[in-house]
Structures are given as C-alpha cells and as structure tokens.
Chains A and B, each alone.
Chain A
C-alpha cells in the first residue's frame, strides 16, 4: 500500500521508455542490455534525478516479471557495515538467476556514504561475485567514490530534470489524480524542488491533499507543512544563544525522531538559506555547518559534534546582536 500512498512511487516510471529525460543514459543502457555484456554501473547525480528509477527499470528490462527475484536492493547507510552487505550479497549471489539470465543485479544506494575502507571491501565483494552478480552503485557525489571502484564501473551522470519536462510530468500526474494545477504552482514547485523530482511530486501531493485546485499559495503552504518545523526552531534557539533549550530540541530530533546528524545539518543549511540573516552571517554559519559535517564523519559521537555546532552558531548569533546596531549607523 505504501507504493500507492506516495505519488512519487505510484507514478515512478516502470520502464526506460517511460522515463521522460536522460536520453543519453537510456541509449547507452539499452546498448549494454542488447549486447548482453552489462558491466558494473555507477549512477551519480543529485537526489530525485532518477537514479533509483532507472536502476529499477533496468532490472525490469533485464528480467521481466522475475525482476524482484533477480535484483537485490541495499542501502549503504541502512545496512550496518560492510559485513552485513557482504553476507547479503553472498546469500543472494549464491544461486544463479532463474530464467537463464546471465547474472543478478545488486542495487546499492548511497554508496558514497561508505567510508574509504568499506569501499575497498566493497570492491573486493564486487570482484568476488562478478560471475553471478552485477552491481549498480547509486551516489550523489562521484568524488566520494574511490578510484578503483570508478574504474570498474560504467559511469552515468544524472542531471536535474529540465523545467519543461518536470512541468509535463507534474501536469500528467495532476490530471490523473483529478487535480487542477495552475501555472504559477508549477513555477513555485520547480523553484522549491531545485530539480528534485521526488520533492516536486511530494509538494504537489501535499498541496493537492488540501485543495483540488493547486495554485502557488497552496504549494507555499505545502512547503511549510512538510518542512520539519523542529529544524527551524533548532536554528532559532541556537542563534538566540539558548544552548540548553537548543540541545533539548537537538536530542528530540536525534533520539526521538531518529534523524541522523548529517541529515540535520543538511536541513539546517536549507533553513539558513531561507532565513532573513545578513549574507555575511549566512556565510559564517554555512562554514560552521561544513566544518561540523566534516567532524561528524571523522568523530565518534554525534551528540558531541552537534552540540558543538549549536554553541558555535550561538556565539555567532550573539556577536551579530552586539554589532548590529553599530553597523546600521555606518
């Protein structure tokens, strides 16, 4: 039922033909499928640009109705450690695919979230099971994938959907769902989603749940609803220098909601960009966010790093309050 619940899943293209964009990617993949020699694949690009969709469509293309048995979906950040991945791949690749297909497909999402060591281990796994399995690695940043893996893969770049195609798709979905979609709504969705198709469809769906006629106003209120309010509060508390209250909020997000530190930083960055702060302050806070993100990947304890972030933002906030009146006079 979850696939019906979210429109982005309900309207996920099922075949390569259905994918609206990415002509070059599709052509190259078709050529590989036709020749029968599919190498390991690396799809990289920002979120919501069709990496998962194309990987799943490819599985359908290769295996038809048997695709579920022949494709293993893993998520590098969900599966705990490389050993779990190794075990699952081992189990999966032990048997030959049904129906005479030459290999099975392992789709590994968020591969760029793996540490360098884990990627080295992954490389060995890829080689070990190359007889029976091909890997499709999905990543946001190709720069975070180690060279030995890149050199073993056919690399595909995914770029955000052009405005025209996104508009077409949104109109199609709206029509199928009996929703009237105004042009100004499409403009705003495109702007807010930054080319992320999944976020665009989410905005449309939440707006449409409130009213059957979706205009820019409906989209704006949808955007406000699906943005975690806690993150805006967290930023404000931190800026106000109330470290103890800010920390309570942080713990609520981390422990009750289970949001990872790195994801909180991403959301803080989005809030920061939207905020009314002066640009030089924004730049300074963005630097702190980047610094903390780095320390998170290096450190051992998320709460220590995230509390450090809140205190640094608090110190910046206080300095801004102290110097602001002076600056006005200049």
Chain B
C-alpha cells in the first residue's frame, strides 16, 4: 500500500514547516516562556517576550483547513520531546468523557524518554454547543487548572461561542498559503516522485485548492497515480471530486443558465456554499460580463442580495435567505444586456483574501499609526484614515523630523513608516 502523500511529505520537524514563520515564533515563544524546552530550540525560535504571549494560559491555533495546524503541533512535540495527548473534538463528546480522557492522561507520568506532556484539542470548532454538553466549559476548566501546555486548533476562532477560550488563549494564526507557495511545494513533490509535471497543471491544482495544501497534495497524488507525467488537460478529471473545482462549475452554470430557474437550481447542489459563492460572483462579474451596463445590472442584484443578508445577520431572519440566493444566482445570471459569453471563462480566485493575507503586516503598522494619531488629537480613526493622514504626509514631506519622531514613538523603520504616508 502506498502511503498518502500528505503523510509521506508531512514536515517532521519545526524547521521543515514552511511559510509560517510568524506562527512558529509565537508558538515557540509561548512554550519556551512557560515550560521546559531544549535550549537550542528556544534560542532559535523563541524571540517574543510580550505580555500577550507570556500571560496566555493556552494557545489557539487558527487557520483554514489543510495548512498545517495539526502538523505544526506534532512537530513541536517532537522538537521539545514531549508526549502528545491528542483529542479530536469529533471523537470525544460530552464533558464527562473529556475529563476522563484528559484527566487520566495527565495523571500518569509521561512515557519513558519524554520530558513532559502536551495536550492538543484538535478542531475545537467541531464541538457542538448543544450536543457536546459542557464540552467547552470542560476545556476551559482544564485550561484553568492545567500545568501542562495545551494547544487547540480551530478554523474559525471568531465564532462567538469561543469568546471565553479566545480571551484566555494566545491566538496564533496560520496564514493561508499563496498559489505560488503551493505550486513550489507541489513541484518539489513531483521532483522527488520522479514525475514530470507541467507548471500550468500544478498552478491549476494550486488555484483550485484555495490555499488548502492538503487538498492540493491529495489532488496531485490522485492525478499522478499510475503515471509519471502530468499535463494541464488531466486536471479536468479532478473536477467531479474536488469541491473547490466545483466552484468553477457552479459559476459556469450560473452564468450560462438560460433561465432564471436554471441558475437558481445551483443552490440545491450539496457542495454549494453561498458565502463562498458571493465572493466568487463579486470577483467574476466584471470579468465575465465585461460590458459595464450588464455588470452594473448584475452587481445591483448582488448588492440587493447582500442587503437582505445584512438583515438576516442582524435579525436572524433566516427565512429570507432564499430571496437573497435568488437575487445572487438568477438575478446575476439573467441580465437584460447580457453579452455573448466566450466558450471558456477563467474564473479568478477572490482577490480580497489574497490582498488581506499579503498585506497583513502593513495593515498592522497602519493601524498602529492611525491609533497613535487618533488618541493624540481626540479624533476618530476614520477621520485619521480619510483626512488627517494626508495632512500628516504633506507635513512630513516638508519636515523630515516628523518622520523621525513618529518612527521613534511607534518603533518602526523609516521605510515602513514612509510607506504609510501616501
């Protein structure tokens, strides 16, 4: 039996986990600041001394599926030589069970040769508030009283029910991998498998993986099973299986539907995720319709769908959702001045997510500057962002001292600061 490539190429050490440097530093700093860990590991990875890091009772690792949250914890345990006690939210139900399993695991001494124990609550967002009676409370209790490191993973840490967990934990976010990063990793796997893979084919797999490395590696293995060459035409085979690729199909069906009902019917598909769809539709409307009149009509419908969704979210009136979907599907599909569509449409990944991921650091710096100014002059942040920052940048151009003083106050490099002043 062949090993799944997701296992075969899973990073074994902390250093092998790529493209997650920020998360690695944060996680290591927390471990080294609070627990026993090998010196050379700490001197290499633990650089942060913030209160935020050292005060946290546990770590909440957050990020979309398939980017290596669990892998990172495994690698950490191996690196610091701890025994890993792993609990998957989906296999431990109810508070009682949880307490039993962890309680027992923690009472016994660590396995021979281990320095200590590390508890991993995997996928805490799988906990169902009603079904897993008290599960969340029990985790909180365990964290409160534990003397061993506890790490949790979650896809969406901002779920309101996690509020108490979030407050007591250090939130470590793993970033969604970029298309280029995934292509690079796939290329390495191809090389090590001795396969010839077309660049465009790898790119296509990466694109449809939406940053989920595990999905991309699975797809690659499936496509390469029994063959040594991969070309872009092979990718179509994944279409039936891969839910991400079906987003392309969904869009294609919507735009090409000849009747309102045909477009609307897409929402009955089990893989239809309306929140995802809205983002992809927003991205694709100007590209597909090109004509500004048709785009404007389609966007009007999408905008009205969003207004309904706003109302749903505020008032929890979920019975309105069908109206929003009809507007977003049939309404986007059936516009009066609809142009002829080309035989093949390339649907792009919603750029917003990529932009937000790419600019995270720059935005953090911007927020620091805005906050600093807003506090100093009794103004709102929105006034600073839309007005005062332009005044400041005009003043700074005439007076280099301003940059220097701000730089010192905010502890930023001059280059970073100048980038913030338009």
Residues of A within 8 A of B (CB): 1-3, 5-6, 8-9, 12, 47, 52, 56, 73, 75, 77-78, 109-110, 115, 117, 199, 202, 205-206, 209-210, 222, 225-230, 241, 243-244, 247, 251, 255-260, 263-264, 266-267, 292, 295, 298-301, 303-305, 307-308, 311-312, 314-315, 317-318
Contact of B382 among A77, A230, A241, A307 (CB under 8 A): A77
Residues of B within 8 A of A227 (CB): 390
Bitwise, B29-66 to A at CB < 8 A (1) or not (0) is 00000000000000000000000000000000000000
Q: Determine the distance from Cα of A6 to Cα of B388 in the docked complex, in whole angstroms.
A: 9
Total number of B residues with any Cβ neighbor in A under 8 Å: 59
A205 and B395 contacting across the interface, CB-CB below 8 Å:
yes
Partner of A78, one of B355, B380, B391, B409: B380
Give residues of chain B (375-419) contacting chain A, Cβ–Cβ below 8 Å: 375-383, 385-392, 394-395, 398-399, 402, 405, 409
Least Cβ–Cβ distance between A251 and chain B, in angstroms: 6
> What are 23 sample pairs from A and B whose C-beta atoms fall under 8 A apart?
A5-B395, A52-B378, A77-B380, A199-B387, A202-B388, A206-B391, A206-B394, A209-B398, A226-B387, A230-B422, A243-B292, A255-B359, A256-B366, A260-B386, A266-B386, A298-B307, A299-B306, A304-B299, A305-B303, A305-B306, A312-B299, A315-B296, A317-B292
Chain B residues with CB under 8 Å of A47's CB are 383
Contact B310 A209, beta carbon cutoff 8 Å: no
Interface residue B130 (Cβ < 8 Å from any Cβ of A): no
Most chain B Cβ neighbours within 10 Å, of A52, A77, A202: A202
Residues of A within 8 A of B370 (CB): 258
- Shortest distance from the beta carbon of A286 to any chain B beta carbon, whole Å: 17
| In contact, B313 and A318 (Cβ under 8 angstroms) | no
A311 near B286: Cβ-Cβ < 8 Å: yes
B→A interface (CB under 8 Å) = 278, 282, 285-287, 292-293, 295-296, 299-300, 302-304, 306-307, 309-311, 313-314, 351-352, 355-356, 359, 362-363, 366-367, 370, 372-383, 385-392, 394-395, 398-399, 402, 405, 409, 422
Q: Which of B303, B383, B385 contacts A304 (CB 8 A)?
A: B303
Interfacial chain B residues near A305, Cβ < 8 Å: 303, 306
Distance from A13 Cβ to chain B, minimum over Cβ atoms (Å)? 12
Query: In the bound complex, do residue B381 and residue A78 qualify as a contact, i.e. CB atoms below 8 Å apart?
Result: yes
Q: Are A228 and B422 in contact (CB under 8 A)?
A: yes
